[in-house]
Amino acid sequence: GTENIFHLRKLPLRIAETGVNALVIVSENMTEAVQSQRELRESQRLLNTIIDTLPHWISVKNRDGHFRIVNAPLLRAFDADAAQFVGRRSEEVLPVDPEAQDVLRRGNKAVLETGAPYTVPELRLRLPD
């Protein structure tokens, strides 16, 4: 037969008037959920490998502008690690001038408001040496 994975919970059952004690066992078959979690982790590893292998800077932000994903080339450019970026906004972690920050902010806002791509043809940044 096929191996399955179960989550078991055992609870006491006390029947006061007879003084009989019993045991209730609740079993949940977790096989599909565990397999789905494994597949999701593998997909995430594959996506991270692809994102980190591309030479371009790639990041993902939530609606509030906080970084959720930052790829390796972007981190190397700023001599940083993911912990310095994830959960923070551009203005907190990118050492760029206010004009560039404004361009980045306007682009983020436009994409979120319109749902359409936004292109900055030429953004000048001074990177750390």
Query: Does 18 have pLDDT greater than 90?
Result: no
Which of the residue ranges 4-8, 28-32, 87-91 would you say has the lowest mean pLDDT? 87-91
Q: How far is CA 1 from CA 4, 35, 102, in A?
A: 9, 17, 62
Query: Does 129 have pLDDT greater than 80?
Result: no
The candidate with the shortest Cα–Cα distance to 88, out of 113, 62, 108, is 62
Q: Any idea what the Cα angle at residue 103 is, between residues 99 and 107, rounded to 5°?
A: 165
Q: Any idea what the Cα angle at residue 51 is, between residues 105 and 125, rounded to 5°?
A: 40
The pLDDT value given to residue 114: 95
Structure tokens at 114: 């319109």
